[in-house]
């Protein structure tokens, strides 16, 4: 059922079990079963993060000249000591070549903002957009960072400037978040 409809609600699942097997399961048991089923169909969080580098390589292979910048940090053990030869994901920037090329035909105004990511691993998705001549919103670049902190914004803005918007005279619009102002100095 989950494979056919990943948006399957827990009450619907409970009703199905009651109808099929004549037994009413608890909400918790239904929720755990749905989570297990989703993991069987789509894999788990750790597997997803482990295949991220391969996905990014495929992205660059099949969409040539896509810009991808990934940063990792050393993994630490329980006593905060580095684990030799083990790194973990820190932050990621990407922009498609089509977006980079099309920015030349957009207004010289870039708007940036961030939104929280929900799920097992927290983080923030940073987005840069522009407007084309017909006032349509045009996506330019994206990043996944630890949060709306100076380091994350600096990573995003530096890559945005280097790879997407190197020209002078661009207006940057943002929500006056302190970490953006600190990163932009």
**Is the pLDDT score of 177 beyond 70?**
no
DSSP state letters, 63-114 = STT-EEEEEEEEEE-TTSPEEEEEEEEEEEEEE-HHHHHHGGGS-SEEEEEE
For residues 117, 119, 120, 125, the Cα torsion angle rounded to the nearest 10 degrees is -10
Report pTM.
0.76
The larger pLDDT score, comparing residue 18 to residue 5, is at: 18
d(CA 132, CA 136): 5
Q: What is the pLDDT at residue 185?
A: 59
**Is the pLDDT score of 174 beyond 70?**
yes
DSSP state letters, 11-66 = HHHHHHHHHHHS-PPPHHHHHHHHHHHHHHHH--HHHHHHHHHHHHHHHHHHSTT-
Residues paired with residue 69 on neighbouring β-strands, in sequence order: 93
The larger pLDDT score, comparing residue 85 to residue 176, is at: 85
């Amino acid at each position: 059922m989950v494979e056919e409809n990943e948006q399957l609600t827990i009450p619907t699942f409970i009703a199905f079990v009651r109808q099929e097997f004549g037994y009413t399961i608890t909400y918790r048991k239904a929720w755990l079963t749905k989570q297990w089923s989703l993991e069987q169909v789509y894999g788990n969080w750790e597997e997803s993060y482990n295949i991220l580098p391969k996905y990014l390589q495929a992205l660059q292979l099949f969409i040539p000249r896509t810009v991808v910048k990934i940063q990792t940090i050393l993994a630490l053990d329980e006593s905060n000591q580095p684990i030799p030869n083990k790194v973990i994901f820190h932050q990621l920037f990407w922009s498609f070549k089509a977006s980079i090329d099309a920015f030349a035909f957009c207004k010289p105004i870039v708007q940036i903002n961030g939104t929280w990511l929900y799920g097992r691993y927290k983080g923030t998705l940073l987005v840069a957009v522009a407007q084309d001549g017909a006032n349509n919103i045009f996506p330019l670049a994206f990043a996944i960072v630890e949060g709306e902190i100076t380091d994350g914004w600096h990573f995003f803005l530096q890559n945005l400037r280097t790879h997407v918007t190197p020209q002078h005279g661009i207006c940057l619009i943002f929500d006056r978040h302190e970490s953006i102002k600190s990163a932009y100095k």
